[in-house]
């Protein structure tokens, strides 16, 4: 795993290399691989209730997946090396267009990754601006105001 949270070091095989084989120019770090790792971390977070997995989900959300799409949403990167060589830039389309649909599915479902609950416990996993209704017998409303990823401010307000 690269410092960005991107995974997959070998572009030719779209796979993993030897231990510590993380060349910043060659790092594959496909956007879809970052998303897949986020989903893994989501499941691990639910299974273990360890915050480290939610932290890694957030890290990969912003640095391994969101980085794959342009700010206007009209271009993307298929792979995300840590260093651009030969003028690599986001493109409107690539020959293999898996990443845009994977990103759009994930953004559409992002609200489902923000919190989890059971019995009388609630875990807030991501600091994303949102309003959540927890369907306990006495429902709980959570409202989060966040300026992430543009700024570092986050507030959780009583519902
Ligand atoms: Zn992809």
What are the tens digits of pLDDT across the range 132-159? 999 999 999 999 998 877 777 777 676 5
- Helix (H) or strand (E) run with residue 156 in it: strand 154-158
Q: Are residues 28 and 61 in the same domain?
A: yes
Cα(95) to centroid of ligand 1, in Å? Answer: 11
How many whole angstroms separate alpha carbon 80 and alpha carbon 66? Answer: 11
Give residue-wise pLDDT tens across range 16-73: 999 989 999 889 999 999 999 999 999 999 999 999 999 999 999 999 999 989 989 8
Q: Which long-range contacts (CB under 8 A, 24 or more apart) does 87-90 make?
A: none
Q: How many whole angstroms from 126 Cα to the centroid of ligand 1? A: 23
Kindly state whether residues 105 and 127 are assigned to the same domain. no
Asked whether residue 120 falls in the same domain as residue 91, the answer is: no
Query: Which of 79, 97, 112 is where one domain is finished?
Result: 112
Dist. CA 32 → ligand 1 center (Å):
4
Could you tell me where the DSSP H helices lie in the chain? Answer: 31-48, 51-60, 98-109
Range of the domain at 129: 114-159
How many structural domains are present in the chain? 2
- Dmax of the chain from CA atoms? 58
Nearby residues of 93 by Cβ (< 8 Å), 6 or more positions away:
none
What spacing in Å lies between the alpha carbon of 136 and ligand 1's midpoint?
Answer: 38
Tell me, in angstroms, the distance from the centre of ligand 1 to residue 91's CA: 13
Outline where DSSP puts E strands in 14-153.
115-118, 121-124, 130-134, 140-146
Residues 51 and 28 grouped into a single domain: yes
Ligand 1 centroid–CA 97 distance in Å is 7
Ligand 1 center–CA 49 separation, angstroms: 29
At 84-128, the pLDDT tens digits run 888 888 999 988 889 999 999 999 999 999 999 999 899 999 989
Compute the mean pLDDT over every residue in the chain, rounded to the nearest whole number: 91
Tell me: do 71 and 141 sit in the same domain. Answer: no
Averaged pLDDT, 68-80: 90
Do 19 and 69 lie in a common domain?
yes
Q: Does residue 118 share a domain with residue 95?
A: no
- pLDDT for the residue 120: 87
Identify whether residues 10 and 64 lie together within a single domain: yes
Q: Are residues 74 and 135 in the same domain?
A: no
Helix (H, G, I), strand (E, B) or coil at 113: helix
Query: Is residue 13's pLDDT more than 80?
Result: yes
Instruction: Say whether both 104 and 147 belong to one domain.
Output: no
CA–centroid distance, 119 to ligand 1, in Å, is 37
Ligand 1 centre distance from Cα of residue 135 (Å): 35
Say what the pLDDT of residue 159 is: 57
Contact between 107 and 27 (Cβ < 8 Å): no
| Token reading at 90 | 């986001």
CB 13 within 8 A of CB 26: no
């Amino acid at each position: 795993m690269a410092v960005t949270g991107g995974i997959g070091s070998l572009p030719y095989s779209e796979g993993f290399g030897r231990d510590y084989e993380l060349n910043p120019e060659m790092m594959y770090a496909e956007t879809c691989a970052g998303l897949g790792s986020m989903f893994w971390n989501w499941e691990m977070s639910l299974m273990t209730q360890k915050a480290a997995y939610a932290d890694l989900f957030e890290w990969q959300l912003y640095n391994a997946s969101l980085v794959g799409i342009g700010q206007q949403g009209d271009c993307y990167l298929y792979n995300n090396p840590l260093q651009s060589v030969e003028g690599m830039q986001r493109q409107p389309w690539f020959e293999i267009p898996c990443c845009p649909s994977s990103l759009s599915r994930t953004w559409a479902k992002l609200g489902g990754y923000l919190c989890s609950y059971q019995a009388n416990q609630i875990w807030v996993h991501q600091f994303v601006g949102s309003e959540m209704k927890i369907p306990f017998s006495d429902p709980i409303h959570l409202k989060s105001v966040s300026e992430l990823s543009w700024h570092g401010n986050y507030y959780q307000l009583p519902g």
